[in-house]
Structure 1
Amino acid sequence: DFEKLKIASIVQQGELNSIIKAKPKEFKELLNAVIGIDKLDVASNSMKEITKDFREKIRDKIGYDDTHTDILLRDLEKHQNELEEAIPKKEHLREEHKKLQQDIASLRIKLEEDTPKIEKVKQLELRKQELQSYAKAAIKEIQEEISEKERKIQDCEGCFQNAGLKNDLESKIKKVDLAVDETQKKIQELSNQIASLKEKQILAAKLQLKDNRCPVCNSEVEKLNPLFQEDHLREELVLIQEHIVATKKEQEMYNKKRLEFAEKLQNSRDAEAILKAHSINNEEELKIIKEEIKVKKTSVQKIPHFSNSSLLEIAQMDSHSKIIFENISKLEEAVKGFDESEFTNLKNSINEKQTNLSQIDQQLGAIIEKISKNEEQLKIIQKAITELKTVKEYMVQLDSIQSNIFSRDGPVATSLRSWALNTISAKASEYLTLLNTKIQRMQLSEKARDITITCYSKNEVLDVESLSGGEQVSVALALRLGMAKLLGSSNLNLMILDEPTTHLDAERKKSLVEVLSQLSNISNSEMVMQFIIITHDAEIFEDSTVEKIYKFESAEKGSKVTAL
């Protein structure tokens, strides 16, 4: 293993003393690498992967792993508490549910008993309204009958007197008509006379006496016939016209009389028609109607205003009202003691309790579901916990293997380091003895997570920091050789040092070469070491017992090696 060989047998530039200059924790990591404890990390990681895969399989199977045990126990306690709280609630709700059902059933019986009564109450109100309507209709009918009779009396009163004048008026009209006709004839005759007189006037104007002689026969006459005298004719014409005016006035008077008689005749005829329309034949019948009106008005006044107390009085109106009243009495007896407001309160109470029952049903359903879920979860959790107990046992074993075998600070690693530290300490102490230093023994020890180096002379414990440069180099070489021995690489008896004098002053450089020379010159062939030193400081080999020195130079054809 080159990496391990490099730790002890190949010293890179400036790294010779680094092994004793390293921090305790770094030295421990170096030791772990030497004895292969770092390989435990691979096994530890593999173990972690195994543990992780195992947990994942458990989670896939039951939904939990061993790390959830505390959570499951808390959940178990939580569900148990919820179950303990829910069960009494369920029982309480069931008791309430049962009591409500009993109350509702009892109230429903009462409701069923009273429901027909509410219908009868409605019928009772309808019958009362019917009786009231009937009474109102009867009153209205009587009032209308009274109004009709009063109107008949009003229409017929005075009609008998007018109706009795009909014949007389008709006779008078006939007489007036005859008078009118006579005056008309008279006027006509007078008009004819006027026409005749006018013709005579024309003729008279032509028949004028000349020298007392007739204009026709020329005979001698004393005077003309008055019929041919113009003055006489004019006088006659005036008299006839005055007679016509007087006759027309008389005719106008007859016409007025006729209109007056015609109007009275029409009134008479109307009165006769009214009496006939009302089927009134005489005044006695009107008297009977007046008596009937008095009776009707008296009966209307006797009908009381509608109320429960007046039902009996209203029932006395007629047989129909009596039948309605009897139905009302039967319905009142059927609903006796029934209170409609109490019935309404009963229905409201049932509805309210039914609502409460529905709410309790919902609560009960919710609590039963909650109990069911809790019981189901308890079974799941209890089953999981039972299985996880077995898993936990396996995980404890795996964790034990992890911590005791594969852990860097476990018993196995600690024992290996203890053995390695003792082995390296023993071998390093042997090399220090061969180097003739004042250090007789070296001890490596592990404390907590650190490894310390302690050097011992004959009489005292030596701190590494207090050693001289040469002594520190000797300690470093002894340690590396001891580690190489542990690795099994000491069979090579070889150590390669690259620029080991870097950061050393001239004295320390020479000290380093002297120490290496001493190790090379040891006569014990089994322990003889070979050192290959690669350096740019050629002066360190002056006055030294180094066996061979080679110089390497760059050339065109490659590196040039020269033995010095």
Structure 2
Amino acid sequence: MLMIDSITLVDFISHRDTTIRFGDGVTVFIGRNGSGKSSVIDGITYALYGKHTRRNNSNLVRHGAHHSSLILEFSINGKRYKVEKRLSAKGTLESGVLYELSGGSWKMLAAGERKQFGESMSNEIAKILGLDYDKMRVAAVIQQGEIDRIIEYKPKEFKELINNIIGIDRLDNAYELMRYVIDGFRERLRSVYGYDDNSRDTLARDVERYEKDVEEMRRMISRIEEDVRRVVEEKVTLEKEYEEMRGKRERFEGLKVRVSNLLNYIGERKRSLEREVEEIKATISKAEECMMFVEQEEKVKASLDSAEEKVNRLDEEISRYKQEHTRLESLKRLVADKMTLLSNAREQLSTVERLKHVPDELSKVKERLQEVSYRISSSNEEMGRLKGLMECASKIEFKDGICPVCNSKVERINPLFDKNELKRRIQDAARELDILKREYLKLENRLKELEGYNEQLHMAKGFLEMNKIASINSIYALEEEVNSLSREVNSINTIKSKINSLVVERNDAYDMMKEYRRRLDEINKARAFLDAKSIKNRDDLERLRREVREREGLVGRLKIFLDKDAQTIALSMISPSPAYNIDEYAIDEYSKRLVGEIVTLAGECKGFSEERYMKIERRLKEVERVEREREKELAGLKSRLDAITNDLERLRGTLKVLDHAYNHTTMLERIREKAFHRNSIVARSLRSWALQHISDKASEYAKAFSIDISRIELVEEEGNNEVNIACYGRRGLIDLASMSGGEKVAIALALRFAIAYVMGGYRLDFVIMDEPTVHLDEERRASIVELIGLLAEGSALKQIIIITHDSEIFEDADVDHLYKFEMTDQGTVVSEVK
């Protein structure tokens, strides 16, 4: 049975830090609207199911708090559980854990709400309680304004609620579990035997088919065993002939190897002789060329000496002309420098002549600028003095010729206090000052201009002094020097042309010298080649030509033998009339030994035929293949025969087991349909008993409300899967739609109390009612206290929790626990009254 043990709310809605412990009996929460009473219900439902009435989770966090948390402890069926949840300021679930008390300590059962991964502590709690959030709200949590919701249920939904309340949904579970049990039993039959009880006829046909297969397979084995005997006899005959022919073939292979070795050796000797012939021919050709070079040695040496003498003479002449060219190039650069100096000197001398008056004018401008500056300063002082007098004169005002200071008659005003005179003098002074400033500005500009000219003058004089040019005569002398040097420099092109001509002549002579040296080097190499080959004259060349002719004749004979392959030659050797005289190719000791071995092996291979050998080999392989296939086929048939025989025995045993299983599953399906179906006699009887008890208790509670209802009847309609609410009065059946709001609330309370009474004996030990007195008049509000007392005494419910702002009707009532809720600046404060 489910009971709420305690709840702790920290920064949850209006609660800063509240802990409430629930005991047995009636517990009443009293306080003004908004004092935080209903928050306890939201705390309980959010802890259990993650749901509440506050629209979104952010409303669960107290205003100004960074986090919100709650701890709920509850008991069911003798086990204790604890739920801890923590939310962020935005209402996001930061952590959530479900614990079970085991062995004196809390053990974690589930955590978090990742439903997409199949992880949900709320689902785990729903399984433990056996009720989801919606059914819990109807059966045990009656929230404010939803008391009459129960009578608005559709008949089909109301019947489903009754089924869940009295546990008929457990019959549904048992009905489904029985199907799983039967299906599981059949699945185990299929996994163990390959058949279930529904396959007995199929199994019987399989047994008959297997028996026919066994007989057919035995006949096939007998035929194949006879084939194997015949194949073995032929194999023995072929193996004997094959062994004889294989011996000759092995010796024939040895013969081919010897012939191949002889061919390889003869081929190598032929290639060696060909290389020797080519080398001797190359030596003859090279020797003839070298002898021609050697005969020209004296002539080449004389020409080389003449070419070397000419190159040395031309190198000396070119060196002299290059020295003269270098001197003239230096002189040319000097002329260019003096021409540049001459041009600059003319320009600077002209500048000196043009600006010679600048120093005097600069001195005069500086004197006048100093004089004007002094006059401007004096004018500014005079202007200040006049403006001061003007300010004093403005303060002294003469009326009717009377002095404002001494009050005496004034015949004539002192000009110092005459404002008109002062104003004229100020204007004159301002005009003079303006003229002086404009003159000062012009003088400043002229001063800057003259200072620039003076700087140019100093630079020009410095340049002339540095280059020792005092007058125009110095420039004339410099011009005469430049003209003299230029005439000497003009001969540089003639020198350059002469050098180029000599260089071309020297290069030609040098090329000739290199050519004679190369030819002399070739002569020396030719003499060395002839000495290395021991060739002294043309008789030695004729000797080499005879050697070439002898080797070429031998190569021709060897080539005839090499035109055939080893296979052809070997076959010819074992034929009655060989096509080759093998002795002709015994040209040295090694080849003589090979020829002897070939002749011996050829005699031992007489009568060998490769065609006959291959034919016997192919037939032997074919016979062996057929033998293997028949033996493999025979082994497979015997193995299959054993397997089918075993399967046949197994199927016969399985058929006996399935006969027993069929009787067992038939009995289980009969029990499932008769006992656990929701429309079975068990479920109908249980539902009928519950509807009767709820109807009786609801009628009893309705009478306490003094309404014109004598009987509330819950009626199950046959065949339409519905439960209707029927109310009877003195005039018979009364339509719920025609009742007043208060009458509907009274009927709803009566039904809820009746359901809670009956339900207390099954799944829940508590009921929570939020503002149950809303919409009730004074007399009926008083009656509800009596009804709650009756409910507490007459039912198995251990906890009844009432939330109300009608404190006056409960303060003197016989309740077990009374908690007062008050709203303060720090949030909700809860205190136990009794």
- Indicate the structure with greater helix content: 1
Per the shorter chain, which TM-score range? 0.3 to 0.5
**TM-score (ref. length: structure 1):** 0.40
Greater C-alpha Rg:
1
- Indicate the structure with greater strand content: 2
